[in-house]
């Protein structure tokens, strides 16, 4: 079996190769994103909603946007109305879109004609539109790359930035000059009243810094985790060759990443072959039934008991490393002799301390959006390396 040393250099190159693309994109788009965030804040204050959608793996971006705005990761931030309409986005939009709404469509680097048509229909109703990617709209971004994985990672940073910046504008507007708890996000916003134009340019500068922060964190992961990622890839591939499948799970934004990873396996980019995978986070009826009847700590454990087979791989995704339902599922997987992998943040948390995963892959940061963004790079690189092994 190949070892992590065999893959480590290539994995490091894949991770580091993303950085120039990210930095160039956010240097180019920072002012446009700052202005778009300001308009979003005004629309939310007028009662607007964020309506998001996509198809295939890009539907998971709509899921992620919805949970970030409704259930913000920073304690004390307001819940904002957002919905994922991916299941039937065109009729749903036609039924509910209002003039103050914001409509966000996701797709592959080449775009999606159905998504674009739905965005145009929403624009005609005076909704603010985001084409990610696209050639027209209130905000649109030309693809920074033809690589579907890197494109999706850039878009994740983009909508995290929109979310962060909307809250900065809320607090600047409501407090006049003190940005309160958002100060650690944008430390340049002091306690002296600023002109809006000056605020816009400084927010744009900070947005550009976000791309640079991601680069530094990705460099750290490339340096510290590449060999471990390679070992995990080799072990996963051995299980897949023996007929195993990937079983993925996570909460909130990590749930959407688990869903995305599963879809990247079964609906891969052109030229890739499918790999069997499921996401336990993609089962709303099971999740709500188990949480209601026996408790949310068992939502993944109960499903794992039903789904696991001897050669499977259990992959838990957690920014904190402390989610009880993730730990219980990983520990049950180990009892059943499944291979266990965990994508973690902070210092790895209880997953590391309890040795609940054979391969804990840690993004050492304490800020959830940046952790999630680099975790996306990690699981996309894992998927790329699995395809390399298939090709021999």
Q: What's the alpha-carbon Rg for the chain, to the nearest Å?
A: 21
**What's the CATH class of domain 11-212?**
alpha beta
pLDDT value at residue 179: 39
What is the mean predicted confidence (pLDDT) over 271-293?
Answer: 98
Residue 166: is its pLDDT beyond 60? yes
pTM summary value: 0.93
pLDDT value at residue 196: 57
pLDDT value at residue 248: 99
pLDDT value at residue 89: 98
Are the CB atoms for 338 and 314 separated by under 8 Å? yes
Residue 187: burial class (beta carbons within 10 Å; 0-12, 13-18, 19+): exposed
Q: Which CATH superfamily is domain 242-391 in?
A: Glucose-6-phosphate isomerase like protein; domain 1 (3.40.50.10490)
Show the DSSP H helices in the chain as ranges: 4-17, 19-45, 59-70, 89-96, 113-123, 148-175, 196-241, 253-266, 284-293, 299-307, 324-335, 349-353, 368-391
What is the mean predicted confidence (pLDDT) over 194-216?
Answer: 84
Q: What is the pLDDT of residues 47-72, one digit of tens each?
A: 999 999 999 999 999 999 999 999 98
Residue 191: is its pLDDT beyond 90? no
Domain ranges in the chain with CATH number 3.40.50.10490: 11-212, 242-391
Q: What is the pLDDT of residues 101-140, one digit of tens each?
A: 999 999 999 999 999 999 999 999 999 999 999 999 999 9
DSSP 137: S
pLDDT value at residue 73: 75
């Amino acid at each position: 079996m190949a070892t992590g040393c065999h893959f480590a250099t290539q994995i490091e190159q894949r991770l580091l190769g993303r950085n120039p693309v990210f930095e160039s994109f956010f240097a180019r788009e920072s002012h446009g994103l700052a202005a778009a965030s300001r308009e979003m804040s005004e629309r939310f204050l007028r009662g607007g909603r964020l309506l998001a959608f996509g198809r295939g793996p890009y539907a998971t971006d709509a899921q992620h946007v919805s949970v970030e705005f409704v259930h913000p990761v920073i304690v004390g931030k307001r819940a904002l109305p957002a919905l994922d309409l991916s299941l039937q986005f065109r009729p749903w939009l036609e039924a509910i879109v209002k003039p103050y709404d914001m409509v966000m469509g996701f797709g592959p680097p080449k775009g999606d004609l159905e998504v674009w048509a739905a965005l145009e229909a929403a624009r005609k109703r005076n909704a603010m539109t985001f084409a990610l990617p696209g050639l027209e709209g209130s905000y649109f971004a030309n693809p920074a790359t033809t690589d579907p994985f890197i494109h999706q990672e850039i878009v994740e940073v983009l909508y995290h930035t929109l979310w962060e910046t909307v809250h900065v504008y809320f607090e600047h507007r409501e407090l006049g000059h003190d940005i309160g708890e958002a100060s650690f996000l944008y430390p340049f916003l002091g306690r002296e009243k600023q002109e809006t134009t000056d605020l816009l340019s400084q927010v744009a500068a900070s947005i550009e810094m976000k791309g640079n922060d991601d680069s530094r964190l990705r460099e750290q992961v490339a340096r510290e985790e590449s060999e471990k990622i390679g070992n995990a890839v080799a072990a996963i591939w051995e299980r897949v060759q023996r007929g195993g499948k990937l079983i993925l799970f996570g909460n909130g934004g990590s749930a959407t990443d688990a869903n995305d990873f599963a879809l990247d396996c079964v609906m891969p980019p052109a030229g890739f072959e499918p790999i069997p995978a499921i996401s336990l986070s993609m089962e709303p009826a099971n999740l709500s039934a188990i949480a209601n009847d026996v408790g949310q700590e068992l939502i993944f454990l109960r499903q794992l008991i039903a789904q696991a087979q001897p050669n499977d791989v259990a992959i838990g995704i957690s920014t904190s490393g402390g989610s009880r339902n993730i730990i219980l599922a990983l520990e049950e997987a180990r009892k059943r002799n499944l291979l266990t992998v965990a994508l973690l943040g902070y210092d790895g948390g209880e997953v590391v301390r309890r040795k609940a995963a054979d391969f804990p892959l840690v993004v050492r940061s304490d800020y959830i959006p940046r952790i999630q963004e680099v975790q996306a790079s990690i699981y996309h690189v894992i998927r790329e390396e699995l395809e390399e092994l298939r090709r021999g």
